[in-house]
Amino acid sequence: MQFKEIIGQERIKQQLVQTVKENRISHAQLFLSPVGSGAVPLAIAYAQYINCLDKGEHDSCGVCASCRKYERYIHPDLHFSYPFFASASVKIAVDVLEEWRSMLTQDPYFDMDIWRSKLDAANKQANINIAECHDIIKKLSYKAFEAETKVLIMWLPEYLDKAGNALLKLIEEPPANTLFILIAQSQDQILSTILSRTQIVKIPKLTGEEISHYLIENNGLTDHQAIDYAFLADGNLIEAKALAADTQSDSSGTFTSWLRMGFGNKVPDLINFTDEAAKWGRENQKNFLRYGVNYLRECCLILSGAEALVKLPPLTLETAKKLSEHVLSLPMAEAIIAELEKAHYHIERNANPKILFLDVSLQLVKIIKFKTLPAGTQYIYN
Ligand SMILES: [Zn+2]
Protein backbone atom coordinates (compact mmCIF):
# COMPACT_ATOMS: atom_id res chain seq x y z
CA MET A 1 0.00 0.00 0.00
CA GLN A 2 1.52 3.30 -1.09
CA PHE A 3 0.48 6.73 0.12
CA LYS A 4 -0.53 7.64 -3.41
CA GLU A 5 -3.29 5.00 -3.34
CA ILE A 6 -4.94 6.62 -0.36
CA ILE A 7 -7.77 9.07 -0.85
CA GLY A 8 -7.21 12.57 0.53
CA GLN A 9 -5.44 12.95 3.91
CA GLU A 10 -2.55 14.88 2.33
CA ARG A 11 -1.62 16.67 5.54
CA ILE A 12 -1.42 13.43 7.55
CA LYS A 13 0.64 11.72 4.84
CA GLN A 14 3.11 14.60 4.91
CA GLN A 15 3.24 14.54 8.67
CA LEU A 16 3.96 10.79 8.72
CA VAL A 17 6.64 11.01 6.03
CA GLN A 18 8.24 13.82 8.01
CA THR A 19 8.60 11.64 11.12
CA VAL A 20 10.62 9.17 9.04
CA LYS A 21 12.82 11.83 7.48
CA GLU A 22 13.53 13.44 10.82
CA ASN A 23 14.05 10.07 12.45
CA ARG A 24 11.51 10.70 15.18
CA ILE A 25 9.10 7.80 14.75
CA SER A 26 7.27 7.33 17.99
CA HIS A 27 7.28 3.60 18.86
CA ALA A 28 3.64 3.46 19.99
CA GLN A 29 1.13 5.51 18.05
CA LEU A 30 -2.61 5.65 18.27
CA PHE A 31 -4.32 6.62 15.02
CA LEU A 32 -7.61 8.07 16.11
CA SER A 33 -9.97 8.28 13.19
CA PRO A 34 -13.65 8.15 12.33
CA VAL A 35 -14.88 5.10 10.37
CA GLY A 36 -14.16 5.23 6.65
CA SER A 37 -11.42 7.86 6.79
CA GLY A 38 -8.68 5.47 5.71
CA ALA A 39 -6.65 4.92 8.90
CA VAL A 40 -5.88 1.27 8.07
CA PRO A 41 -4.40 1.98 4.62
CA LEU A 42 -2.55 4.98 6.10
CA ALA A 43 -0.97 2.82 8.81
CA ILE A 44 0.08 0.19 6.27
CA ALA A 45 1.48 2.79 3.86
CA TYR A 46 3.39 4.38 6.75
CA ALA A 47 4.89 1.04 7.81
CA GLN A 48 5.73 0.23 4.19
CA TYR A 49 7.45 3.61 3.79
CA ILE A 50 9.48 3.08 6.96
CA ASN A 51 10.71 -0.29 5.71
CA CYS A 52 11.07 0.57 2.03
CA LEU A 53 14.61 -0.07 0.77
CA ASP A 54 14.44 2.71 -1.79
CA LYS A 55 12.26 5.45 -0.30
CA GLY A 56 11.25 8.44 -2.38
CA GLU A 57 10.62 11.97 -1.12
CA HIS A 58 6.94 11.33 -0.49
CA ASP A 59 6.27 7.63 -0.89
CA SER A 60 7.67 4.12 -0.80
CA CYS A 61 9.02 2.72 -4.07
CA GLY A 62 6.42 -0.03 -4.35
CA VAL A 63 8.83 -2.45 -6.05
CA CYS A 64 11.70 -3.27 -3.68
CA ALA A 65 11.80 -6.65 -1.90
CA SER A 66 10.20 -5.18 1.21
CA CYS A 67 7.49 -3.24 -0.66
CA ARG A 68 6.55 -6.29 -2.71
CA LYS A 69 5.79 -8.26 0.45
CA TYR A 70 4.07 -5.29 2.03
CA GLU A 71 1.86 -4.90 -1.01
CA ARG A 72 0.53 -8.40 -0.41
CA TYR A 73 0.43 -8.00 3.37
CA ILE A 74 2.72 -11.00 3.76
CA HIS A 75 5.89 -9.39 5.06
CA PRO A 76 7.11 -11.58 7.95
CA ASP A 77 7.75 -8.50 10.09
CA LEU A 78 4.34 -6.96 9.52
CA HIS A 79 1.84 -8.22 12.09
CA PHE A 80 -1.83 -7.51 12.44
CA SER A 81 -4.14 -7.80 15.38
CA TYR A 82 -7.88 -7.20 15.25
CA PRO A 83 -11.12 -8.23 16.92
CA PHE A 84 -12.26 -11.73 16.07
CA PHE A 85 -14.85 -14.25 17.18
CA ALA A 86 -13.22 -16.85 19.34
CA SER A 87 -14.31 -20.44 18.75
CA ALA A 88 -12.91 -23.94 18.97
CA SER A 89 -10.90 -23.40 15.78
CA VAL A 90 -10.21 -19.66 16.17
CA LYS A 91 -8.20 -18.91 19.26
CA ILE A 92 -6.08 -15.96 18.17
CA ALA A 93 -6.22 -13.37 15.37
CA VAL A 94 -3.72 -15.26 13.19
CA ASP A 95 -6.26 -18.07 12.86
CA VAL A 96 -8.30 -15.80 10.57
CA LEU A 97 -5.33 -14.08 8.93
CA GLU A 98 -6.27 -15.37 5.48
CA GLU A 99 -9.71 -13.76 5.74
CA TRP A 100 -8.09 -10.56 6.97
CA ARG A 101 -5.62 -10.44 4.08
CA SER A 102 -8.31 -11.17 1.55
CA MET A 103 -10.44 -8.34 2.92
CA LEU A 104 -7.48 -5.94 2.72
CA THR A 105 -6.75 -7.03 -0.82
CA GLN A 106 -10.33 -6.58 -1.87
CA ASP A 107 -10.64 -3.13 -0.34
CA PRO A 108 -8.57 -1.63 2.49
CA TYR A 109 -11.53 0.58 3.43
CA PHE A 110 -13.76 -1.54 5.65
CA ASP A 111 -15.57 -1.39 8.94
CA MET A 112 -16.66 -3.82 11.63
CA ASP A 113 -19.83 -4.75 9.72
CA ILE A 114 -17.79 -5.78 6.68
CA TRP A 115 -15.28 -7.70 8.80
CA ARG A 116 -18.11 -9.43 10.61
CA SER A 117 -19.65 -10.48 7.29
CA LYS A 118 -16.29 -11.92 6.12
CA LEU A 119 -16.13 -14.07 9.22
CA ASP A 120 -19.71 -15.11 8.98
CA ALA A 121 -20.05 -14.41 12.66
CA ALA A 122 -23.73 -13.48 12.92
CA ASN A 123 -24.38 -12.09 16.38
CA LYS A 124 -21.36 -13.38 18.20
CA GLN A 125 -19.34 -11.02 20.34
CA ALA A 126 -16.00 -9.94 18.91
CA ASN A 127 -13.01 -9.16 21.06
CA ILE A 128 -9.24 -9.11 21.36
CA ASN A 129 -8.67 -11.61 24.12
CA ILE A 130 -5.89 -12.54 26.50
CA ALA A 131 -4.63 -15.35 24.26
CA GLU A 132 -4.21 -12.78 21.46
CA CYS A 133 -2.34 -10.41 23.80
CA HIS A 134 0.05 -13.20 24.72
CA ASP A 135 0.55 -14.05 21.07
CA ILE A 136 1.44 -10.41 20.35
CA ILE A 137 3.98 -10.38 23.17
CA LYS A 138 5.51 -13.60 21.84
CA LYS A 139 5.62 -12.41 18.21
CA LEU A 140 7.25 -9.13 19.05
CA SER A 141 9.84 -10.71 21.31
CA TYR A 142 11.42 -12.45 18.30
CA LYS A 143 14.14 -10.75 16.35
CA ALA A 144 12.97 -9.22 13.09
CA PHE A 145 13.24 -11.69 10.22
CA GLU A 146 14.39 -9.28 7.55
CA ALA A 147 13.03 -5.79 8.13
CA GLU A 148 14.71 -3.01 9.99
CA THR A 149 11.50 -2.27 11.86
CA LYS A 150 8.94 -4.81 13.05
CA VAL A 151 5.44 -3.44 12.89
CA LEU A 152 2.28 -4.46 14.66
CA ILE A 153 -0.92 -2.81 13.49
CA MET A 154 -3.81 -3.32 15.87
CA TRP A 155 -7.19 -2.43 14.47
CA LEU A 156 -9.80 -1.39 17.05
CA PRO A 157 -8.08 -1.60 20.44
CA GLU A 158 -11.55 -0.70 21.76
CA TYR A 159 -12.15 -4.45 21.66
CA LEU A 160 -9.40 -5.17 24.16
CA ASP A 161 -10.98 -5.86 27.49
CA LYS A 162 -8.99 -5.78 30.71
CA ALA A 163 -6.72 -8.34 29.05
CA GLY A 164 -5.26 -5.36 27.21
CA ASN A 165 -3.31 -4.45 30.31
CA ALA A 166 -1.07 -7.40 29.51
CA LEU A 167 0.30 -5.28 26.68
CA LEU A 168 1.21 -2.27 28.77
CA LYS A 169 4.82 -3.17 29.36
CA LEU A 170 5.27 -3.95 25.68
CA ILE A 171 3.78 -0.63 24.63
CA GLU A 172 5.81 1.29 27.17
CA GLU A 173 9.14 -0.43 26.54
CA PRO A 174 8.89 -2.23 23.24
CA PRO A 175 11.72 -4.44 22.02
CA ALA A 176 14.24 -2.62 19.83
CA ASN A 177 13.05 -1.49 16.40
CA THR A 178 9.41 -2.21 17.00
CA LEU A 179 6.55 0.01 15.95
CA PHE A 180 3.12 -0.35 17.43
CA ILE A 181 0.24 1.33 15.59
CA LEU A 182 -3.18 1.17 17.16
CA ILE A 183 -6.12 2.27 15.05
CA ALA A 184 -9.10 3.38 17.07
CA GLN A 185 -12.41 5.02 16.33
CA SER A 186 -13.34 6.18 19.76
CA GLN A 187 -10.96 7.53 22.35
CA ASP A 188 -13.49 7.04 25.16
CA GLN A 189 -13.58 3.28 24.74
CA ILE A 190 -9.86 2.63 24.99
CA LEU A 191 -8.26 1.51 28.22
CA SER A 192 -6.87 4.69 29.75
CA THR A 193 -3.69 2.82 30.66
CA ILE A 194 -3.06 2.25 26.96
CA LEU A 195 -4.12 5.72 25.93
CA SER A 196 -1.60 7.34 28.24
CA ARG A 197 1.25 5.29 26.74
CA THR A 198 0.69 6.14 23.09
CA GLN A 199 1.21 9.14 20.90
CA ILE A 200 -2.11 10.17 19.40
CA VAL A 201 -2.32 10.94 15.69
CA LYS A 202 -5.70 12.43 14.89
CA ILE A 203 -6.92 11.58 11.41
CA PRO A 204 -9.80 13.74 10.24
CA LYS A 205 -12.78 12.44 8.33
CA LEU A 206 -12.64 12.89 4.58
CA THR A 207 -14.14 16.07 3.19
CA GLY A 208 -17.29 16.10 1.08
CA GLU A 209 -15.19 17.25 -1.89
CA GLU A 210 -12.74 14.35 -1.51
CA ILE A 211 -15.58 11.86 -1.42
CA SER A 212 -17.65 13.35 -4.22
CA HIS A 213 -14.53 13.63 -6.38
CA TYR A 214 -13.82 9.94 -5.72
CA LEU A 215 -17.38 8.95 -6.63
CA ILE A 216 -17.34 10.93 -9.87
CA GLU A 217 -13.98 9.41 -10.90
CA ASN A 218 -14.62 5.83 -9.81
CA ASN A 219 -18.35 5.27 -9.95
CA GLY A 220 -19.23 7.53 -12.83
CA LEU A 221 -21.83 9.44 -10.81
CA THR A 222 -23.15 12.82 -11.89
CA ASP A 223 -22.04 15.82 -9.84
CA HIS A 224 -25.42 16.11 -8.16
CA GLN A 225 -25.59 12.45 -7.18
CA ALA A 226 -21.99 12.45 -5.98
CA ILE A 227 -22.54 15.51 -3.80
CA ASP A 228 -25.73 14.04 -2.43
CA TYR A 229 -24.05 10.75 -1.49
CA ALA A 230 -20.97 12.50 -0.13
CA PHE A 231 -23.27 14.55 2.09
CA LEU A 232 -25.06 11.48 3.29
CA ALA A 233 -21.83 9.58 3.90
CA ASP A 234 -20.54 12.41 6.08
CA GLY A 235 -16.83 11.71 5.53
CA ASN A 236 -17.16 7.94 5.53
CA LEU A 237 -15.83 6.50 2.27
CA ILE A 238 -17.17 3.02 3.02
CA GLU A 239 -20.65 4.35 3.27
CA ALA A 240 -20.26 6.51 0.17
CA LYS A 241 -19.18 3.45 -1.82
CA ALA A 242 -22.11 1.42 -0.53
CA LEU A 243 -24.50 4.18 -1.58
CA ALA A 244 -22.92 4.51 -4.99
CA ALA A 245 -23.17 0.76 -5.52
CA ASP A 246 -26.88 1.10 -5.06
CA THR A 247 -27.51 3.85 -7.60
CA GLN A 248 -31.22 3.19 -7.57
CA SER A 249 -31.56 4.74 -4.16
CA ASP A 250 -32.87 8.26 -4.00
CA SER A 251 -32.28 9.05 -0.38
CA SER A 252 -33.46 12.64 -0.35
CA GLY A 253 -36.60 11.78 -2.34
CA THR A 254 -37.56 8.87 -0.11
CA PHE A 255 -36.94 10.75 3.08
CA THR A 256 -38.83 13.90 2.14
CA SER A 257 -41.80 11.89 0.90
CA TRP A 258 -41.86 10.11 4.27
CA LEU A 259 -41.88 13.51 5.99
CA ARG A 260 -44.69 14.69 3.70
CA MET A 261 -46.81 11.69 4.66
CA GLY A 262 -46.26 12.67 8.29
CA PHE A 263 -47.18 16.30 7.74
CA GLY A 264 -50.23 15.22 5.76
CA ASN A 265 -51.22 12.88 8.58
CA LYS A 266 -51.49 10.12 5.98
CA VAL A 267 -51.36 7.14 8.29
CA PRO A 268 -52.44 4.55 5.64
CA ASP A 269 -49.60 5.77 3.37
CA LEU A 270 -47.19 5.52 6.24
CA ILE A 271 -48.27 1.95 6.87
CA ASN A 272 -47.64 1.12 3.21
CA PHE A 273 -44.27 2.82 3.50
CA THR A 274 -43.49 0.67 6.54
CA ASP A 275 -44.24 -2.49 4.58
CA GLU A 276 -41.89 -1.34 1.80
CA ALA A 277 -39.14 -0.25 4.18
CA ALA A 278 -39.26 -3.61 5.93
CA LYS A 279 -38.09 -5.20 2.65
CA TRP A 280 -35.14 -2.88 1.99
CA GLY A 281 -32.48 -4.81 3.87
CA ARG A 282 -30.68 -3.55 6.89
CA GLU A 283 -28.03 -1.44 5.17
CA ASN A 284 -30.61 0.56 3.22
CA GLN A 285 -32.74 0.94 6.32
CA LYS A 286 -29.76 2.32 8.18
CA ASN A 287 -28.98 4.63 5.25
CA PHE A 288 -32.51 5.99 5.28
CA LEU A 289 -32.41 6.73 9.00
CA ARG A 290 -28.96 8.25 8.83
CA TYR A 291 -29.90 10.35 5.86
CA GLY A 292 -32.92 11.59 7.78
CA VAL A 293 -30.79 12.61 10.74
CA ASN A 294 -28.28 14.45 8.54
CA TYR A 295 -31.02 16.10 6.52
CA LEU A 296 -32.93 17.34 9.56
CA ARG A 297 -29.72 18.60 11.16
CA GLU A 298 -29.27 20.75 8.10
CA CYS A 299 -32.87 21.94 8.48
CA CYS A 300 -32.05 22.90 12.08
CA LEU A 301 -29.25 25.09 10.74
CA ILE A 302 -31.69 26.78 8.35
CA LEU A 303 -34.18 27.24 11.19
CA SER A 304 -31.50 28.77 13.38
CA GLY A 305 -30.57 31.26 10.68
CA ALA A 306 -27.25 29.58 9.91
CA GLU A 307 -28.03 28.80 6.29
CA ALA A 308 -24.50 29.65 5.23
CA LEU A 309 -23.29 26.47 6.98
CA VAL A 310 -25.70 24.15 5.18
CA LYS A 311 -24.00 21.57 2.93
CA LEU A 312 -26.97 20.18 1.00
CA PRO A 313 -26.78 20.05 -2.80
CA PRO A 314 -28.84 22.79 -4.52
CA LEU A 315 -32.03 20.85 -5.35
CA THR A 316 -32.26 19.20 -1.95
CA LEU A 317 -31.56 22.55 -0.31
CA GLU A 318 -34.58 24.10 -2.00
CA THR A 319 -36.91 21.47 -0.53
CA ALA A 320 -35.30 21.76 2.89
CA LYS A 321 -35.76 25.53 2.83
CA LYS A 322 -39.43 25.27 1.91
CA LEU A 323 -40.00 22.70 4.61
CA SER A 324 -38.23 24.81 7.21
CA GLU A 325 -40.10 27.96 6.24
CA HIS A 326 -43.58 26.48 6.20
CA VAL A 327 -44.05 23.52 8.47
CA LEU A 328 -41.03 22.47 10.44
CA SER A 329 -40.02 23.99 13.77
CA LEU A 330 -36.76 23.53 15.61
CA PRO A 331 -38.15 21.44 18.50
CA MET A 332 -40.06 19.35 15.99
CA ALA A 333 -36.92 18.68 13.95
CA GLU A 334 -34.98 17.84 17.11
CA ALA A 335 -37.68 15.44 18.28
CA ILE A 336 -37.76 13.66 14.91
CA ILE A 337 -33.96 13.41 14.90
CA ALA A 338 -34.10 11.79 18.34
CA GLU A 339 -36.61 9.21 17.06
CA LEU A 340 -34.53 8.45 13.96
CA GLU A 341 -31.40 8.02 16.04
CA LYS A 342 -33.21 5.70 18.39
CA ALA A 343 -34.48 3.65 15.45
CA HIS A 344 -30.96 3.50 13.99
CA TYR A 345 -29.64 2.22 17.31
CA HIS A 346 -32.24 -0.54 17.37
CA ILE A 347 -31.89 -1.52 13.72
CA GLU A 348 -28.17 -2.04 14.28
CA ARG A 349 -29.10 -4.42 17.04
CA ASN A 350 -31.35 -6.44 14.78
CA ALA A 351 -34.74 -5.06 15.81
CA ASN A 352 -37.71 -6.16 13.69
CA PRO A 353 -37.71 -3.56 10.89
CA LYS A 354 -41.44 -3.63 10.31
CA ILE A 355 -42.31 -2.86 13.92
CA LEU A 356 -39.53 -0.35 14.10
CA PHE A 357 -40.48 1.62 10.99
CA LEU A 358 -44.11 1.61 12.03
CA ASP A 359 -43.16 2.95 15.42
CA VAL A 360 -40.93 5.71 14.08
CA SER A 361 -43.62 6.67 11.53
CA LEU A 362 -46.29 6.93 14.21
CA GLN A 363 -43.92 8.93 16.38
CA LEU A 364 -43.48 11.27 13.43
CA VAL A 365 -47.23 11.81 13.18
CA LYS A 366 -47.45 12.32 16.92
CA ILE A 367 -44.64 14.85 17.00
CA ILE A 368 -46.19 16.80 14.15
CA LYS A 369 -49.79 16.58 15.30
CA PHE A 370 -49.43 17.17 18.98
CA LYS A 371 -46.09 18.89 18.84
CA THR A 372 -45.10 16.68 21.72
CA LEU A 373 -41.69 15.30 22.37
CA PRO A 374 -40.77 11.71 23.06
CA ALA A 375 -40.91 10.70 26.69
CA GLY A 376 -37.71 11.38 28.53
CA THR A 377 -36.71 14.55 26.64
CA GLN A 378 -36.19 17.54 28.86
CA TYR A 379 -37.25 20.14 26.37
CA ILE A 380 -40.62 21.78 26.96
CA TYR A 381 -42.35 22.88 23.81
CA ASN A 382 -44.33 26.13 23.90
ZN1 LIG B 1 10.22 -0.04 -1.55
Nearest in space to 207 (alpha carbons), one of 186, 230, 226, 223: 230
**Domain co-membership, 196 together with 270:** no
Distance CA(220)–CA(314), nearest Å, equals 20
Please, are residues 127 and 83 in contact by the beta-carbon 8 Å criterion? yes
**Domain co-membership, 273 together with 342:** yes
- With respect to residue 10, please indicate whether it lies within any of the assigned structural domains: yes
Instruction: Summarize pLDDT for 301-334 with one digit per residue, the tens.
Output: 999 999 888 877 777 788 889 888 888 899 999 9
**Domain co-membership, 66 together with 177:** yes
**Domain co-membership, 185 together with 280:** no
Please, are residues 30 and 185 in contact by the beta-carbon 8 Å criterion? no
- With respect to residue 232, please indicate whether it lies within any of the assigned structural domains: no
Domain boundary among 202, 224, 240: 202
> Mapping DSSP to helix (H, G, I), strand (E, B) and coil, where does residue 376 land?
coil
Alpha carbon of 241 to ligand 1 centroid (Å): 30
Alpha carbon of 72 to ligand 1 centroid (Å): 13
Q: How many structural domains does the chain have?
A: 2
- With respect to residue 73, please indicate whether it lies within any of the assigned structural domains: yes
**Domain co-membership, 319 together with 183:** no
319: containing domain: 249-368
**Domain co-membership, 304 together with 172:** no
- With respect to residue 226, please indicate whether it lies within any of the assigned structural domains: no
- With respect to residue 345, please indicate whether it lies within any of the assigned structural domains: yes
C-alpha torsion sign, points 350, 352, 354, 355? negative
- With respect to residue 280, please indicate whether it lies within any of the assigned structural domains: yes
Classify residue 26 as left (phi > 0), alpha (psi -120 to 50) or beta: beta
**Domain co-membership, 107 together with 46:** yes
- With respect to residue 84, please indicate whether it lies within any of the assigned structural domains: yes
Alpha carbon of 47 to ligand 1 centroid (Å): 11
CATH of the domain at 17: 3.40.50.300
Domain boundary among 146, 176, 202: 202
Alpha carbon of 68 to ligand 1 centroid (Å): 7
**Domain co-membership, 270 together with 148:** no
Distance CA(189)–CA(261), nearest Å, equals 40
Give the chain's end-to-end CA distance (angstroms, integer).
57
**Domain co-membership, 182 together with 303:** no
| Whether this model's pTM surpasses 0.75 | no
CATH of the domain at 291: 1.20.272
Q: Along the 382 residues of the chain, how does pLDDT read in single tens digits?
A: 999 999 999 999 999 999 999 999 999 999 999 999 999 999 999 999 999 999 999 999 999 999 999 999 999 999 999 999 998 889 999 999 999 999 999 999 999 988 988 887 666 788 999 999 999 999 999 888 999 999 999 999 999 988 888 999 899 888 889 999 999 998 888 888 889 999 999 999 999 999 999 999 988 888 888 888 888 888 999 988 887 776 556 777 889 899 999 998 899 999 999 999 998 888 788 888 988 998 999 999 999 999 888 877 777 788 889 888 888 899 999 999 999 999 999 988 888 999 999 999 999 999 988 764 444 444 443 3
The secondary structure of residue 205, as a DSSP letter, is: P
- With respect to residue 241, please indicate whether it lies within any of the assigned structural domains: no
**Domain co-membership, 13 together with 118:** yes
Alpha carbon of 361 to ligand 1 centroid (Å): 56
Strand partners, 202: 32
Alpha carbon of 60 to ligand 1 centroid (Å): 5
**Domain co-membership, 128 together with 255:** no
**Domain co-membership, 185 together with 253:** no
Domain boundary among 186, 202, 218: 202
Alpha carbon of 238 to ligand 1 centroid (Å): 28
